[in-house]
Chain A
Amino acid sequence: MKRALPPVSKTAAMTFEVVAQCSSSKARASNMTMPHGLVETPMFMPVATQASLKGLTPEQLDDLGCKICLNNTYHLGLKPGQEVLDTIGGAHKLQSWPHNILTDSGGFQMVSLLKLATITEEGVRFLSPHDGSPMLLTPEHSIELQNSIGSDIIMQLDDVVATLTKGPRVEEAMYRSIRWLDRCIKANKNPDKQNLFAIIQGCLDLDLRTICCAEMQKRDTPGIAIGGLSGGEDKDQYCKVVNHCTNLLPRNKPIYCMGVGYAEDMIVSVAMGVDLFDCVYPTRTARFGNAITAEGIVNLRNKCYEADFSPVEKGCKCPICRSKEDGGMGITRAFIHHLAAKETTGAHLLTLHNVHYQLELMRSARRAIIDDRFPQFVKDFFSTLYAGDKSKYPQWAVEALREVNIDLLEKTD
């Protein structure tokens, strides 16, 4: 039962068009066109924190098919700083990246990296990491910085509270985030070039989430993020909130789950209707010798791989796993083991594989949605990950998927 008219939304700096919807779940495939080109969703966005992705050249990232990456506002604000960004003409110019960039507001980093940050109605107060002097990050300043960065998607400053927080602080943060969105919208100098996304807050309180979704929707931003998650909550709680929000949010706007990037989490979230993801995990874990594969994590620093001359992942089409005959590098597990923790190129190689894995997982999900075989795709994904052992499937995934009409435990012939 495909819906007849796929939703479309056209705003000053974005055309969002749903091109296919799963006939069972809420999964959809869409085309997001922004000033720096087309982004096909579902999409994983690699995190190039300081305008560089862990040793990869922007060209290598481009060659992996990446069309949008993240930069962190907090870090770029420190280095190279707003003045340099203004002189150079923004982050695209800084890193010679021809595709889209998304930036966060800087607030999350401030709260998580700087223990002494306090939040008032005005903004986030913190001590300068340079000289310890008191500083203030307001919604206006966050947007001004993101305007200087010139990212295609900019995020509102939100009042971040730990996911597991309960009581009046949650409500306060939710309402303050709405007020801050208004200030951000007003502060955005480039609505014709930069898409401001709202962030839904409310921790695990579904009633607060409902209010927030309604209020944010009124502001009619080009896209909406589900925030305040990935903070140590149980996976089933995460799913309940996401499922709740995607039920309420308009279907003609991209939905972004911030900080989500584990393969299972992304697949379940796609089924619940989420379009965009980002996470530092795939690149960070590469430095510890971890390869992400369809069958799970492989830690290549383990001695058992020192004489394993097979590719990092069999059948993988990434530049390192592909054979030399096939135009790849034909890197073996043994060679990664040989380099791991001793030469940085080992981390570069694994980063290539891991980013490819993430991007390819989303590309294959998209193909499955377009061919309307997404439920089977999800079942195959879990079956491969758990080597066909259904008793090992995580309960939260089974339940969340059942909510969107995908039964992982269903008997098949």
Chain B
Amino acid sequence: MSSETTPTKANMQSFKVLQTQANSAARQGTFAVSRTNANTISTPNFLLPTSRGSVPHLTPEILRKHVDVPALYIGVEDFIYKAAMKSPLTLSGFKIRDYVSIMPPLDSKSPQIPIFLSPRRSNPIPTSQPSTDNTLAVVTSDGFRQFPIQEYFQLVSQIKDDDTVVIAPTDLPLMLVPNGARGSGVAVRSSTKVGGNRSRKLVVRNEKWSTSMLEKFSKDVPVIVPLIPGISFSQQQMYFDSLLGKENVFVAAKTIETIDGLAVSDLTSPFLPEPEAEEEEDLDRLGQKENIAPENDTSLTSASTVDYKLIPTELKEVVRLNMAYQNGPHDVLRAFERGSDLVCGDWITTATDAGLGFSFTLPTDDASVHDGHQKLDFAHNFIDNEKYASDLSPIAEGCECYTCTKHHRAYIAHLINANEMLAWTLLQIHNIHVANQFMSAIREAIKAGTFTTAATSFCHLYVEHISGVKLGAPRVRGYQVRLVGGTDKKLNEKAFRDLSADV
């Protein structure tokens, strides 16, 4: 395949790799999020997930004044009811940016915060029924729904603007077992290993969805299409050919101008518990054991196993969005080492909800100097932690975020202890700031060629799991908790209690 055969024109490329690493797949680049203006995201970076269009704990005013947001991730399923085309968002005729009042940042170079639109939330709740050829299974506040792909396209046409990136629907081989089928509505992992029939279905379906998305939108906005999770690269060769306009039965080759990015999902969901040994035996007896995904089978495409070296050349220089749940900064470093350019920032909100205030930085020195030292926590734990009760220092020494310049640990500790909502607002502002600093240090390290050393050093310096803190599944809201049964109630109860508690 020579470069002349690809319909992707070099000068149209939205993603530019500026620096690569010799000893890892990590790379530093810029992603142009707009076809009409100069708005770009420096990578590696993160997308800040929204819940019902709101960054958890932050009003739009605080978002524009006190937080530097690289980009927002909005799941359209948060806005649709039974009939998507009769939902208030559709009826309003608004752009999504106006609907949820995302305003230009007060203090930033970029005129608008880039918005990534996807049919589903980042780290969505697995559905209890599969998607169909023309519909995507989603979770709305009304429960499980089939969202017609054509309606997603129509809605996206309405709500996108010049600083929007759109993500094609992905048929994920991840499902909840329907209520009552096994246990009492408790989520279990099922059917993650994809059989031959299902594999062909996945290819055909994603091919159709992705190519239509490209055809409809890539002239106006960047389009990110999925790698098909759960099958090998060779099994999806036909899909790649189709994306590249070589053998496309749906779209004439010429109409595809460009592919801006690839999204890779995980084969697990934080909402699905690890299968227990007993359960596995159970499945074995039922002849379903092969349905359990071998996590370390590197031939399968997933966020934690993907090998970008094997991807077709034409798809190498596009932005790579890692949709998997990152369980803290260690995971984030691994995702970048594997070659991701963008990760979802659910881990930031999860840490905030758990009462953590980040205290990590990317080390600039060599890992070995930390050997023999006790590892540090990557965050301060403000839950039931009396040691901060009279501590007038900022959450992190030298931090320049709004929270740290205006408030102190004693106040955060008090607010957490008193279960006041402001605790989470202040922690969220700080944690996003630290995440930004972290991203910026990672980019600098890649530029300097020291990223691998720095990442190793980080893992030597900081514990991966803070003792007594369980960073579980990402944020779910009340109606979603009901759908996933017993998943990780503790964390979400915390954030919820202050709504009903009274004085």
**Which of A257-265, A271-279, A334-342, A375-383 touches B?**
A334-342
> Which of B407, B410, B415, B477 is in CB contact (< 8 Å) with A343?
B477
Interface pair A348/B421, CB less than 8 Å apart: yes
Asked if A55 CB lies within 8 Å of chain B CBs, one says yes
Interface pair B406/A342, CB less than 8 Å apart: no
Q: Mark A306-324, 1 if CB is under 8 A from B, else 0.
A: 1101000000000110001
Least CB separation from A74: chain B residue: B503
Interface pair B91/A348, CB less than 8 Å apart: no
- Residue from A329, A345, A348 having most chain B Cβ neighbours under 10 A: A345
Interface pair B61/A60, CB less than 8 Å apart: yes
Interface pair B417/A52, CB less than 8 Å apart: no
Asked if B499 CB lies within 8 Å of chain A CBs, one says yes
Asked if A209 CB lies within 8 Å of chain B CBs, one says no
Q: Please indicate the chain A residues that have their CB under 8 angstroms from the CB of B421 in the complex.
A: 52, 54-55, 344, 347-348
- Residue from B91, B100, B418 having most chain A Cβ neighbours under 10 A: B418
Asked if A164 CB lies within 8 Å of chain B CBs, one says no
Least CB separation from A63: chain B residue: B61
B260 nearest CB across to chain A (Å): 28
Interface pair A338/B414, CB less than 8 Å apart: no
B99 nearest CB across to chain A (Å): 7
| Docked pose: A352 CA to B101 CA in angstroms | 15
> Which of A60, A88, A307 is in CB contact (< 8 Å) with B410?
A88
| Docked pose: A306 CA to B88 CA in angstroms | 6
Asked if B83 CB lies within 8 Å of chain A CBs, one says no
- Beyond A339-B52, A341-B499, A352-B59, whether A80 also contacts B414 by CB under 8 A is yes
> Which of A49, A55, A330, A345 is in CB contact (< 8 Å) with B503?
A49
| Docked pose: A331 CA to B110 CA in angstroms | 23
Q: Please indicate the chain A residues that have their CB under 8 angstroms from the CB of B414 in the complex.
A: 50-51, 79-80, 84, 94
Asked if A404 CB lies within 8 Å of chain B CBs, one says no
| Docked pose: A395 CA to B406 CA in angstroms | 49
| Docked pose: A342 CA to B496 CA in angstroms | 9
| Docked pose: A341 CA to B496 CA in angstroms | 9
Asked if A75 CB lies within 8 Å of chain B CBs, one says yes
Least CB separation from A349: chain B residue: B59
| Docked pose: A262 CA to B63 CA in angstroms | 32
| Docked pose: A49 CA to B503 CA in angstroms | 8
> Which of A95, A306, A329, A346 is in CB contact (< 8 Å) with B411?
A95
- Beyond A75-B503, A96-B407, whether A338 also contacts B53 by CB under 8 A is yes
Asked if B62 CB lies within 8 Å of chain A CBs, one says yes
Interface pair A335/B495, CB less than 8 Å apart: no
Interface pair B478/A329, CB less than 8 Å apart: no
Asked if B56 CB lies within 8 Å of chain A CBs, one says yes
Least CB separation from B479: chain A residue: A342
Asked if B154 CB lies within 8 Å of chain A CBs, one says no
A111 nearest CB across to chain B (Å): 15
Q: Mark A119-140, 1 if CB is under 8 A from B, else 0.
A: 0000000000000000000000
Q: Please indicate the chain A residues that have their CB under 8 angstroms from the CB of B103 in the complex.
A: 324, 329
Q: Mark A39-55, 1 if CB is under 8 A from B, else 0.
A: 00000000001111111
Least CB separation from B94: chain A residue: A309
- Beyond A287-B499, A309-B94, whether A335 also contacts B477 by CB under 8 A is no
Q: Please indicate the chain B residues that have their CB under 8 angstroms from the CB of A88 in the complex.
A: 390, 392, 410
Interface residues of B in 467-503 (CB under 8 A from A): 477-479, 495, 498-499, 502-503
B183 nearest CB across to chain A (Å): 27
| Docked pose: A72 CA to B502 CA in angstroms | 14
Least CB separation from B81: chain A residue: A306
Q: Please indicate the chain A residues that have their CB under 8 angstroms from the CB of B91 in the complex.
A: 307
Least CB separation from A49: chain B residue: B503
- Beyond A319-B61, A338-B79, A343-B56, whether A330 also contacts B98 by CB under 8 A is yes
| Docked pose: A209 CA to B147 CA in angstroms | 68
Asked if B298 CB lies within 8 Å of chain A CBs, one says no
Asked if A59 CB lies within 8 Å of chain B CBs, one says yes
Q: Please indicate the chain B residues that have their CB under 8 angstroms from the CB of A80 in the complex.
A: 389, 410, 413-414, 417
Least CB separation from B425: chain A residue: A55
> Which of B61, B477, B503 is in CB contact (< 8 Å) with A50?
B503
> Which of B52, B57, B406 is in CB contact (< 8 Å) with A96?
B406
| Docked pose: A316 CA to B406 CA in angstroms | 29
Q: Mark B404-434, 1 if CB is under 8 A from A, else 0.
A: 0011101101110110111011100000000
| Docked pose: A348 CA to B478 CA in angstroms | 18
Asked if A361 CB lies within 8 Å of chain B CBs, one says no
- Residue from B99, B414, B424, B499 having most chain A Cβ neighbours under 10 A: B414
- Beyond A87-B390, A331-B101, whether A342 also contacts B52 by CB under 8 A is yes
Interface residues of A in 71-117 (CB under 8 A from B): 72, 75, 79-80, 84, 87-88, 93-96
| Docked pose: A331 CA to B103 CA in angstroms | 11
- Residue from B98, B407, B417, B420 having most chain A Cβ neighbours under 10 A: B420
Least CB separation from B56: chain A residue: A343
Asked if B437 CB lies within 8 Å of chain A CBs, one says no
Asked if A240 CB lies within 8 Å of chain B CBs, one says no
> Which of A55, A335, A343 is in CB contact (< 8 Å) with B99?
A335
Interface pair A57/B495, CB less than 8 Å apart: no
> Which of A95, A307, A331 is in CB contact (< 8 Å) with B92?
A307
18 contacts between A and B (CB under 8 A): A49-B503, A52-B421, A59-B406, A60-B61, A60-B62, A72-B503, A80-B410, A87-B390, A96-B406, A96-B411, A307-B88, A324-B101, A329-B101, A335-B101, A343-B56, A344-B57, A345-B59, A348-B421
Q: For the A-B complex with A50-B420, A52-B421 known, give 15 more contacts whose Cβ atoms are closer than 8 Å.
A: A52-B415, A53-B422, A55-B57, A55-B425, A57-B425, A79-B418, A88-B410, A95-B411, A306-B88, A309-B94, A331-B101, A335-B101, A342-B141, A345-B54, A345-B58
Which 7 A-B pairs rank lowest in CB-CB distance, beginning with the nearest?
A55-B421, A87-B390, A50-B418, A52-B420, A307-B88, A52-B422, A345-B54
> Measuring CB to CB, which residues of chain A are less than 8 angstroms from any residue of chain B?
49-60, 72, 75, 79-80, 84, 87-88, 93-96, 280, 284, 287, 306-307, 309, 319-320, 324, 329-332, 334-335, 337-339, 341-349, 352
